Copies of this chain bind each other. A is one copy, B any other.
Amino acid sequence: MTNQKMFNVAVVGATGAVGEQILKLLEQRDFPVAELKLLSSARSAGKTLMFKGREITVQEATPESFAGVEIALFSAGGGVSKALAPQAAAQGVICIDNTNAFRMDPETPLIVPEVNLDKLSDHKGIIANPNCSTIQMVAALKPLRDRYGLARVIVSTYQAVSGAGQSAIEELQTQSRQVLDGEPAEAKLLPVGSLPVKHQIAFNAVPQIDVFQDNGYTLEEMKMIRETKKILDDESIDVTATCVRIPVVYGHSESVYVELKSDYELEEVKQLLSDAPGIVVQDDPEAQLYPLATEAAGKPDVFVGRIRRDLGHTRGLNLWIVSDNLLKGAAWNAVQIAEHIALTQE
């Protein structure tokens, strides 16, 4: 590794929930970092963060911040990415964007390394990291698509509050204490910070993640529908989604119903999933073993269990898919992409 190329890396949104995990992963994975720039909004600039024992001061992200940077990981919201990633890309920076800003842009590859790494080299400076709830689902669907073909996907999600950021975690904790103490729960942020109506998340299930579209679906649901088709490169797959926030801190769970295009053997499905990269099968009813958000939290894998045939439709299959939304759903997928870029540029 003596000749390994080192990269000047910028993390935009370094002080956020995902940014924090990106930093941790770059350190744990010993990513070949030459210089590390930590960037953020003006509000968080001036804070210091630790990386490999060194203190680094967070700077406000501006177009000028990217001079000399080779790889930038963005997770500071869609607005920041829209404003800065194209300018950074124009300066030759390879931008890995964790926001919704460019995911459906036909020029931008939308990458889950286990699924469509072959599209990575199509990038024109920006590579999009998919939505958290999409990533874990397509990672599990990929081996099934390859073997049987996918006709239909019907997903209902059980999503953690950390997907809405650190302040949503604090809201869940505060409300939980209030309810346990017999006090009214104060809802200040969820379901959507920018919208007027707030709903209690503690001890509740809220079927709204992100804003509503004209078709009655939320943006989160439309992300799952559109991104799944784009990543699997197949507009013919029928995908529908119901996205629900529940009082969980880390780890999205998903009840996924799949209708395959051809008949299958259940044991083969389990074997295909067990053999798939990034997937861990946890499926032993007798031992009461199945994926759980609390167990998936902090781990990079996508856990799949409750694998069983639809008793009515022979090509129907139920899956329970769980992963840490901040890791495979965000930071780890982004760092995986960065690692593949680093490999191709060695």
A binding-site residues for B, Cβ under 8 Å: 152, 154, 156, 158, 172-173, 176-177, 180, 191-192, 195-197, 199-200, 203-208, 212, 215-217, 225, 238-240, 242, 244, 246-249, 253, 255, 257, 285-294, 305-313, 316, 318, 320
Given A207-B253, A240-B313, 6 more pairs with CB closer than 8 A: A158-B244, A177-B180, A200-B294, A203-B249, A215-B308, A247-B248
Q: Cβ of A239: which chain B residues have Cβ within 8 Å of it?
A: 312
Bound-state Cα–Cα, A102 to B44, Å:
62
Q: Cβ of A156: which chain B residues have Cβ within 8 Å of it?
A: 156, 242, 255
Write the nearest CB–CB distance from A264 to chain B, whole angstroms. 14
Bound-state Cα–Cα, A32 to B180, Å:
38
Q: Contact: B225 with A311, CB < 8 Å?
A: yes
- In this complex, the member of A239, A305, A320 whose beta carbon has the largest number of chain B beta carbons within 10 angstroms is A320
Q: Cβ of A313: which chain B residues have Cβ within 8 Å of it?
A: 152, 238, 240
Q: Contact: A288 with B176, CB < 8 Å?
A: no
Write the nearest CB–CB distance from A73 to chain B, whole angstroms. 28
Q: Cβ of A285: which chain B residues have Cβ within 8 Å of it?
A: 212, 216
Q: What are 8 A-B contacts defined by CB distance under 8 Å?
A: A191-B288, A195-B288, A197-B288, A197-B289, A205-B248, A207-B253, A242-B320, A244-B255
Bound-state Cα–Cα, A291 to B154, Å:
20
Write the nearest CB–CB distance from A61 to chain B, whole angstroms. 32
Q: Cβ of A177: which chain B residues have Cβ within 8 Å of it?
A: 180
Bound-state Cα–Cα, A305 to B216, Å:
10
Bound-state Cα–Cα, A288 to B270, Å:
40
| 6 tightest A-B CB contacts, nearest first | A238-B312, A216-B308, A156-B255, A212-B285, A156-B156, A197-B288
Q: Cβ of A286: which chain B residues have Cβ within 8 Å of it?
A: 212
Choose from B172, B288, B308 the contact partner of A217 (Cβ within 8 Å): B308
Choose from B206, B217, B291, B318 the contact partner of A240 (Cβ within 8 Å): B318
Write the nearest CB–CB distance from A305 to chain B, whole angstroms. 7
Choose from B158, B197, B240, B288 the contact partner of A287 (Cβ within 8 Å): B197
Write the nearest CB–CB distance from A199 to chain B, whole angstroms. 6
